[in-house]
Amino acid sequence: MAKKANDDGHPKDAAQKPASSGTRSWGFFSIGGRRQKKKEKEAELERSIFIEMDAAGDGGDKILPDNAALVNDMTVTLNLLSEAKTLDGLIEILGDEMNKFNRQDIRMLISQVEGKLGGTNRSYVERLVAKLEEMYGGAFNDIALLAQSRDSEEYRSPPVAASRDYWMMALKSCKNTASKTSPRLLYLKYLLIGFRMFVLGEPAHPVGTPFPGGHEVESESGIFYCPVREKADDVPYAVCPFCPAMQSTEFMLEFTKEEREKKVKQGYIQNYFTNFKG
């Protein structure tokens, strides 16, 4: 005799069976998979936006004819920067170079990054763009101001030793790009970041620059910390090895700045009730 079926067409006793543990397991793995994909996407964005400088790949040694004159000019300037004996000398050279660029170029640098952020949380994009404006636009303005008016005696100290290698790396990177496309904006990027690191003594990315995942560049007791400082070992032409920032500590990476501030606040509250109200 056939068993009566429920409204959904399944036998009653089959409908009464509890859901198998396999169903719940699949849900668990599904959540784990989404988390893993999220982390992979964040790591990809970190590398693309904050670490990689030369997006042209290995273009070889043959420079495109249209880029030849620019490469010649860059070669002269970057060699002069590498040979500068004082910070004052760096400022003088950088000031001359900034006359070849304008605010529209700064806007284009920022737009390049925005183009990689499709589908990213809008709030994050706005925070990042504000810091990129500080990074590029701020350096552009500071160079112009110092080039026009400064006390040269305040900048008589020599650049850090690593600056020579930085400018030579920038030249190699720009030549590589010139074999496939114009290196003009890449060149500007290296100039602005070099100014931040070697003249201002600040990290390539300003304090407060947000990274995917919730971390950011921080400053504590005069020391700069960056969450990706040590992630560029295998990335050619990256500026990270020259940056004055230290790698963020494990505690900084385990908890975002906001989470750490909450923990500190909770600690104060707990201490208050334990020692004064207990």
For residue 225, which phi and psi values (nearest 5 degrees)? -130, 135
Residue 78 in contact with residue 168, Cβ under 8 Å? yes
Q: Name 67's Cβ contacts closer than 8 Å, sequence gap at least 6.
A: 178, 182, 183
d(CA 168, CA 89): 17
Of 147, 144, 168, give the one whose Cα is nearest residue 78. Answer: 168
User: Residue 63 has which token pair?
Assistant: 């420079």
pLDDT at 182: 97
Per-residue pLDDT of the chain (278 residues; tens, 9 = 90+): 544 445 444 445 544 544 444 444 555 556 667 777 777 888 888 888 999 887 555 656 799 999 999 999 999 999 999 999 999 999 999 999 999 999 999 999 999 999 999 888 999 999 999 999 999 999 999 999 999 999 999 999 999 999 999 999 999 999 999 999 999 999 999 999 999 999 999 999 999 999 988 899 999 999 999 999 988 877 899 999 999 999 998 888 888 777 887 877 766 556 545 665 55
- Of 118, 161, 115, 113, nearest to 135 (Cα)? 113
Distances (CA, A) of 22 to 13, 26, 28, 29, 165: 19, 6, 10, 10, 57
User: How far is residue 39 from each of residues 5, 14, 35, 227, 253, measured CA to CA in Å?
Assistant: 46, 40, 6, 14, 13
Which tokens belong to 247?
């790698």
